[in-house]
Structure 1
Amino acid sequence: MEPATSPRHGAVPAAPYSMRPPSPPSIVIPAPVLHHANEHIKVVPSYERVDPASLSADDLKIITQNYKEQLAQDSALNWAYENRRVAQPILDFLFLGPSSIARDREWLRKAGITMLLATRDSQMAVMQLMAPKRVAQELGIQLEYVDVSGYNELIRAFPSAVRKINDHMLNVFHRQRISNTQMQVEDGQMVIPNDNFQRGKVLVFCETGNDRSAGVVVAYLMSVFGLNMVEACQFVHFKRFCVSLNDDLRFVLRSYEDLLTAQRTVHQHELDSSLTYTNGHSSVLKQKRGIEATRDEDDEMGGAEESIDDARFLDRQRFVPFVDMADDEMAGALN
């Protein structure tokens, strides 16, 4: 909005300006530092970087085939315009591409796709667009949707999309596992059946394969592989050169990264403060601080000989809000 000239004040604007709030600074995704052009980006799964509440260690081994490393070479070196019309394997079990490839029966069979994950605008969902139901039914492929009306809704859809991919990978494995008894683990590694074993493979797609679906794949790398937002974007861009993540989508991904960091911290703290079970009843190992502990902390921090807070503890009788019941009283109460 450019204001008109004000002769009363004798001043005119030197440049056009707007009355809206300033935009936040852009999130820059730098090129990864490589020693030579043919060098790969290597990603190695690690359970230490995964939210323990979302996946168990055994589940992560199944999905990643015993923490198998993933490599990405700069696709710009041999990229052609026609490549945007096909899908690229971001991981050895996760593909990213446009909606047209989701209707290519020959390619789906050849790639061994077992699940289609469509990321659509909510209006397309209402009009039943970009829904390859017939292809999925013909090939016996699972079909799932992530329907959002804008980028802001993606941050709520990311956990659901990640869970759908992981659940599918685990279900495919459990249907073909070696025995119907306990999972077999040898030397800390999950035993993966090799003969006639078909691993789950997922195609994530949107209209172009460069926007919403790319954001879902970036979010998956952040959730399951523990990458930060910049590392995940670099990895996906190396695999599919035409990916375009605008500023709005980058801000959503940055917010999702903050949420993941907070969740991992909280859940890891809960595991560290795990419960011990005695006679069917739980008791937390970490106990509340007492008055003596509070005073000890004051002394360690160089407090005065007599704390100014001592007055509130004078003449105060000992009070315990809860006491343990005797075994016979507890039995009577339960009965």
Structure 2
Amino acid sequence: MMDTDRELQPGVMPAAPYAARPPSPPAIMIPAPNFLKGNQPIVCTPSYANVDPFFLSATDLQIITRNRPQEAHDSVSDWAYEDRRTAQPILDFLYLGPSSVARDRQFLQDHGITMLLAARDSRLAQARIMGVDRVAKELGIRAEYVDVENNQGLIRSFPDTVRKINNHMLDVYRSQAVQTYDGDHRMQDGEIAINPNPEQFRRGRVLIFCETGNDRSAGVVIAYLMSVYGMDMIQACQFIQYRRFCVGLDEDLKYLLMTYEGILNAQKAVHRQQLLNPPTTGSPAATQSAGLGSASPHTAKTKRGIEDTMDTDDQDDMGGIENGYALDRDRYTDRPAFVPFVDVPDRTKT
């Protein structure tokens, strides 16, 4: 709070306390799941209806998730402080933990990790800190990095990071394809068969980590749950905290994840509509979707401007101000009158 009494003229006082900092949005509360039955798990089930059809095919989704429901039980009663120093399986193929686990060769071998994904500050990358290339080379696994300067850079990296995880899962699966024959007929191009022997099949597993395994890397995992499993931000946060109780997200990261949820929902809606109503050949939309170039600005507008949503010919009742300048008026509707400063009665005159 700011003490302004000394800065005001005599006989004047503020009507309410105020601060000099810019206004901040309210905190996003992640409520504890409220179930009727004790220790009822949170279940997320993969469904193609929840996935952006331009992002994953139904076959790829089945390969990555095996269409298996994922359950998370409340771990607070079994959680120990030392558990934060190890990694927990968020999904049956996705682990989350601190950077120390990424250098634990025994842990990586015991859990069949096939890719290490580091979410680190770009300054650490310049200093070559949190590098796991040597461990990855020794174990014959893959190492990837998401180097960002801040949370804004993190949200921009989400689509590419999710794509890296999915591509790795698909690569591990397809690398174990075997050529099969049915009499004299070979399998058609594009078809693969996997050895059904579980002892010989090796599934991809990814370890995502940051310095603590509780913030930046947790945000990446939450973004993955929203992208591939269609969970909303609140559900994904609850799910991941059931698996790794020590996860703690700051308010900036929560708001960015909520923004990313809106971006995903918008992309899914647009792409589904495009599948239902494909653009005709030769149209600007078809040209853009085919990657043949952008549409001419004289033939089509890719986005509407705010001026397209209002009628500037009409005058409102605010002294002739056009609607274009009155768009911000709605947020003041029904707001009680407020006087920031009031006069202090002079008691010496009474």
TM range (shorter): 0.7 to 0.9
TM-score by length of 1: 0.77
Paired with 2:141 and 2:204, the residues of 1 have a C-alpha distance of 10
* 1:78 partner SS: coil
The answer to whether the Cα contact below 8 Å between 1:5 and 1:12 also exists between their aligned partners in 2 is no
Paired with 1:98 and 1:145, the residues of 2 have a C-alpha distance of 14
Matched, 1:242 2:246: yes
Deviations 1:29-53 (A, max 9, x none): 1111222332111111000000011
Count of residue correspondences = 274
* 2:76 partner SS: helix
Matched, 1:138 2:146: no
Instruction: Give runs of aligned pairs for residues 38-77 of structure 1, distance below 5 A.
Output: 38-65=39-66, 67-77=67-77
Equivalent position to 2:256, from 249, 252, 255: 252
Instruction: Give runs of aligned pairs for residues 259-298 of structure 1, distance below 5 A.
Output: 259-274=263-278
In structure 2, runs of 5+ residues without a counterpart are 181-186, 288-350
Are the structure 2 counterparts of residues 193 and 14 from structure 1 closer, same or farther at C-alpha, using a change threshold of 3 Å? farther
Paired with 2:27 and 2:191, the residues of 1 have a C-alpha distance of 47
Q: Which amino acid aligns with 1:38?
A: N
Alignment correspondent of 2:292: none
CA apart distance, 1:17:
2.9
Deviations 1:63-110 (A, max 9, x none): 001x11101001112000000000000000000000000000000000
TM-score by length of 2: 0.74
The answer to whether the Cα contact below 8 Å between 1:177 and 1:193 also exists between their aligned partners in 2 is no
Alignment correspondent of 2:331: none
Q: Which amino acid aligns with 1:57?
A: A
The answer to whether the Cα contact below 8 Å between 2:195 and 2:201 also exists between their aligned partners in 1 is no
Are the structure 2 counterparts of residues 276 and 61 from structure 1 closer, same or farther at C-alpha, using a change threshold of 3 Å? farther
Alignment correspondent of 2:335: none
Q: Which amino acid aligns with 2:191?
A: M
The answer to whether the Cα contact below 8 Å between 1:37 and 1:74 also exists between their aligned partners in 2 is no
Alignment correspondent of 1:2: 3
* Percent of pairs with identical residues: 54
Q: Which amino acid aligns with 1:183?
A: E
Equivalent position to 1:210, from 214, 218, 221: 214
Deviations 1:205-226 (A, max 9, x none): 0000000000000000000000
Q: Which amino acid aligns with 1:114?
A: T
* RMSD over equivalenced CA pairs, Å: 2.2
Alignment correspondent of 1:19: 20
The answer to whether the Cα contact below 8 Å between 2:176 and 2:195 also exists between their aligned partners in 1 is no
Q: Which amino acid aligns with 1:256?
A: Y
* 2:90 partner SS: strand
* 1:30 partner SS: coil
* 1:194 partner SS: coil
Q: Which amino acid aligns with 1:26?
A: A
Are the structure 2 counterparts of residues 39 and 121 from structure 1 closer, same or farther at C-alpha, using a change threshold of 3 Å? same
* 1:75 partner SS: coil
Paired with 2:277 and 2:98, the residues of 1 have a C-alpha distance of 46
In structure 1, runs of 5+ residues without a counterpart are 284-335
